[in-house]
Amino acid sequence: MLGRNVDLNDSKAVETFILNLAGKNKYKNALLDVYQHFCKANNITWQKPKKLTEQAFNVKISTEERINVMISFTTKKYAVAFGLSKYGLTPDEVAKITLRDLDLERRELTVKSSKRGLERTYKQGRLTVLYIPESN
């Protein structure tokens, strides 16, 4: 794209072209990085300008009440999985839970972590969504 619009050997023209492009600063920074590699490969002296500020985007985090409402509209099977993931368990960790990991006497759940195989234990106070199916 740059080669079609400006002479790549004229670093000032390339820099001006990139900075005047309509688009996001993230894209312009990427073009400046690529042109810097081009300059190094072709022994062109050029001082790359400072990184253009990239616009941060706002992340909206739901409240725990809204998360609980969303979980309440799922089936019991998925309510357990979503409820456990609310406490930081990854889908992989939830999938690895077996009945041996649940201690009903101490009201604890032991989870085998995907990270280095370390275990974490959750007390019943935090696991309010735990559903134990009724036996037929």
pLDDT more than 90, % of the chain: 18
Does residue 36 fall inside a structural domain? yes
Residue 131 has pLDDT above 50, yes or no: no
Does residue 136 fall inside a structural domain? no
Predicted structure pTM score: 0.43
Residue 8 has pLDDT above 80, yes or no: yes
Number of domains making up the chain: 2
Which tens digits make up the pLDDT trace of 71-110?
Answer: 888 887 777 777 777 777 777 887 888 888 888 788 788 8
Does residue 94 fall inside a structural domain? yes
Of 31, 24, 33, 30, nearest to 54 by C-alpha is 24
Whether residue 27 is found in the same domain as residue 74 = no
Residue-number span of the structural domain to which 33 is assigned: 2-41
Does residue 104 fall inside a structural domain? yes
Does residue 135 fall inside a structural domain? no
Does residue 56 fall inside a structural domain? no
Does residue 132 fall inside a structural domain? no
Does residue 19 fall inside a structural domain? yes
Q: Which helix (H) or strand (E) holds 14?
A: helix 11-20
Residue type, 34: V
